[in-house]
Structure 1
């Protein structure tokens, strides 16, 4: 399965309140408190940080915020996300294999990856849940095909 297929399956995913084509972004000068509010409102685990809304400059997850709260207390919520966001953002393209992306996410211990075009503009965001869901659908289809072959249908 390709990343392109994962993106197309997102509309069937478990978050019907978010349009599959929507890329939730925040600016680098957004405060952690504002970012936390956005994550809660959208019921998402991470948000892409982007000045222009089209190119990823960083990514901020719920875990990033919780770690900062644990280290520095609630005063950190007034700080800009640019100070704690992950700046080495891993991206992928629509033509990449979803299993390879799943392996990259697992090895890198991250859960969200922007999908970009050849010019680095975002087309969407996939989560590790999207990749696992896609893989499970692939395995189910393979099982069905093999069962059909064995049963002679």
Structure 2
């Protein structure tokens, strides 16, 4: 399965509050408190940090916020996202293999990845849950095909 298929599956999502055509981004100078509020409001696990809304400059996850709260206390809520975001954002393209993306996420211990085009502009964001769901659908289709071959033989 390819990343483009994962993105298209999101549009068939059972989560009507998620608009797959909308990439949620925030400005680097947004406060951590506002970022946490946005994540809660949108019911998402991470937000892409981008000045122009097109190119990822960083990513901030719920885990990032919790870790910084644990390390530095509530005072970080007034700091800008740029202080704590992950700057080395891993990206993928629509032609990448979903299993490879799943392996990259697992090895890198991150859960969200922006999908970009040839110019580096974002087309969407996939989560590790999207990749796992895609893989499970592939396995179910393979099982069905093998069962059909065995029963038909």
Q: When the two structures are superposed, what TM-score results if normalisation uses the length of structure 2?
A: 0.98
| Aligned residue in 2 for 1:89 | 89
Alignment partners' CA distance in 2, 1:126 and 1:35: 19
CA 1:14/1:70 → structure 2, altered by over 3 Å: closer, same or farther? farther
Alignment partners' CA distance in 2, 1:80 and 1:6: 32
Give 1:11 deviation, angstroms: 1.6
Give 1:16 deviation, angstroms: 1.5
Alignment partners' CA distance in 1, 2:77 and 2:51: 20
| Aligned residue in 1 for 2:49 | 49
| Aligned residue in 2 for 1:27 | 27
Residue deviations 1:61-100 (CA, integer Å, cap 9, x gap): 0011011111111111000000000000000000000000
Asked if residue 101 in structure 1 is aligned to residue 118 in structure 2, the reply is no
Give 1:52 deviation, angstroms: 0.3
Give 1:26 deviation, angstroms: 0.2
Alignment partners' CA distance in 2, 1:9 and 1:97: 15
| Aligned residue in 2 for 1:131 | 131
Alignment partners' CA distance in 1, 2:112 and 2:61: 9
Please identify runs of 4+ aligned residues in structure 1 that moved more than 6 A. none
Secondary structure of the corresponding residue to residue 28 of structure 1: coil
| Aligned residue in 2 for 1:67 | 67
| Aligned residue in 2 for 1:2 | 2
Secondary structure of the corresponding residue to residue 129 of structure 2: helix
Task: Give matches, 1:10-25, under 5 Å.
Answer: 10-25=10-25
Secondary structure of the corresponding residue to residue 60 of structure 1: strand
Alignment partners' CA distance in 2, 1:16 and 1:129: 16
Residue deviations 1:47-68 (CA, integer Å, cap 9, x gap): 0000000000000000110111
Give 1:12 deviation, angstroms: 2.2
Secondary structure of the corresponding residue to residue 115 of structure 1: strand
Give 1:14 deviation, angstroms: 4.0
Count residues in correspondence: 153
Give 1:22 deviation, angstroms: 1.1
Unaligned runs of 5+ in 1: none
**What's the RMSD between the two structures over aligned residues?**
0.9
